[in-house]
Structure 1
Amino acid sequence: MKKIILSSLLGATAAMSPFLSNASEVSSVGVGINYGVFAGPTLELTYPINNSLQIRGALSSGMDVSETATTDIEYQVKTKDGINRLALDYHPFENSFFVSAGYAVNNFNIEADAEKNGAGITIGDTTYSGNVVLNGTLDWDNAPSLSFGWGNSPEKGWGGLIELGAIFTGAADVNITGTGTLNGNDVSTDPAIQAEITKEEKKVQDELSDYDFLPILQAGVTYRF
């Protein structure tokens, strides 16, 4: 999916090239509407300090995605909430190209739920019979961000934005809780089952350990007043 989105963004760069013009004079506040991976629909406000520097704030509502993910258990996964950022954009050539450093307040998270009934229910390293409902959450920390892109609204009027980068969150924190009955024992209170749920958390954490950042892939339009 990321390859498809990246290809779309690169294609959008060419499509919006007429908008990505140089800004020869400092102008007033700009407003941007764009869409990003994980961030989802995003509203941005920019304020130019001079021809090379601008402050940019972004508020996002998050992507609305539902998928299935599997360890030994099949989870129904859905995303929630967005990522808000404050950044300083530097235009080294006083044109549309910029590099940006900022900080992200990360409300983005993933909910992963599973329900199993019958025999052969494997949690952690143990296989049970019975019924269980597992509710998991994956959360990422607030973190600094680095990015680069093209986009600097004209002195007045319409412009465009393409941005690529990363938010250096570290790996996700994983928390799983369970209810139900396995091998005749209450899932929520039995210490042995709780220990296996902790192992299940570790499995999910290990699968995500290579993903220690959230990508910034944004594209949209801007307007400078």
Structure 2
Amino acid sequence: MTATGMIATLCLLGTTQAYAQDNRMTLGAVAGTTGAGADLAWRFSERLGVSARYTGGLDWSTDYSTDDVNYDGDVNLAASKLTLDYYPFTSGFFLSAGLMLPDIDADVVGRPRNSTYQFNGQEYPADALGTLHGTVTLADGVQPYAGLGWRQSHRSGFGVFAEVGVIPTDPDVSLRTSEGFENGDNPLSAQLRREIRQEEQRLEDEANEWPVYPVAVVGVSYTF
């Protein structure tokens, strides 16, 4: 083989190896504050890649009380995301930005703390209203996402995965009574409808004290 041929061969091998190092797929199993699921990443260069993730199945029960009502809630969480990842040091550390589709809400049931409901000084008998039922949505629809983490995508084999980030919240509260008293045509029903809307607004204002939801996941991964 001539010197020119050897140089050409070495260049081809170097290009092939660089391509292999910069064109890796990483599959991970993760769990965290949005549930458990899978993370798939394609690192197409030393410093850039894209990733997609879905997590869900995280449910728990909680309670919350206002001055007049005790609420019990069943919280459901799920989220999917698509991001562009930047590896500033060409290692496993990355910065991530993109979009997340969260589904974070709770089905709530409210009961009076005493024998009557009291909204803005007006009392309503509990046996006439029954219980308050509703949905509290913390984040829903497409939201911007920013985070940072570690993914073993710079070399083949098994590794660890970790990522933390945030998404903005957009609280929404919807309440109704189990007896439908607020649906009547009498003046007291109309007043109750206004009181319920004000209760929804109070709950939304309190939820707005948390303008972002923390996203944190850990897991294991394999890079091909």
Provide TM-score, normalisation by structure 2: 0.79
Secondary structure in 1 aligned to 2:59?
Answer: coil
Secondary structure in 2 aligned to 1:92?
Answer: coil
User: Which residue identity is paired with 1:49?
Assistant: F
Residue 105 of structure 1 corresponds to which residue in structure 2? Answer: 101
Distance 2:114 2:69 in 1: 13
* Greater shift in the superposed pair: 86-95 or 58-67: 58-67
For 1:16-165, what aligned pairs fall within 5 Å after superposition? Answer: 25-37=21-33, 39-71=34-66, 72-116=68-112, 119-123=115-119, 125-131=121-127, 132-139=130-137, 140-141=139-140, 142-165=142-165
Contact kept in structure 2, 1:56 and 1:86, CA below 8 Å: yes
Give the gaps of 5 or more residues in structure 1: 1-23
Q: Which has the higher contact order (CA 8 A, sep 6+)?
A: 1
* Greater shift in the superposed pair: 92-101 or 134-143: 134-143
Give the gaps of 5 or more residues in structure 2: 1-19
Asked if 1:166 corresponds to 2:161, the answer is no
Shift of residue 150, structure 1, vs aligned partner: 2.0
* Count of residue pairs brought into register by the alignment: 196
Secondary structure in 2 aligned to 1:93?
Answer: coil
Residues 25-66 of structure 1 show CA distances to partners (whole Å, capped at 9, x for unaligned) of 2243221111121x1112111111111111110111142111
CA 1:145–1:187 in structure 2 vs 1: closer, same or farther (change >3 Å)? same
Shift of residue 118, structure 1, vs aligned partner: 7.1
What RMSD, in angstroms, separates the aligned Cα atoms of the two structures? 2.1
Contact kept in structure 2, 1:36 and 1:42, CA below 8 Å: no
Contact kept in structure 1, 2:159 and 2:220, CA below 8 Å: yes
Distance 1:152 1:91 in 2: 11
Q: Which has the higher helix share?
A: 2
Structure 1 runs (4+) deviating above 4 angstroms are none
Distance 2:162 2:31 in 1: 10
Shift of residue 124, structure 1, vs aligned partner: 5.3
Distance 2:212 2:126 in 1: 38
CA 1:126–1:62 in structure 2 vs 1: closer, same or farther (change >3 Å)? farther
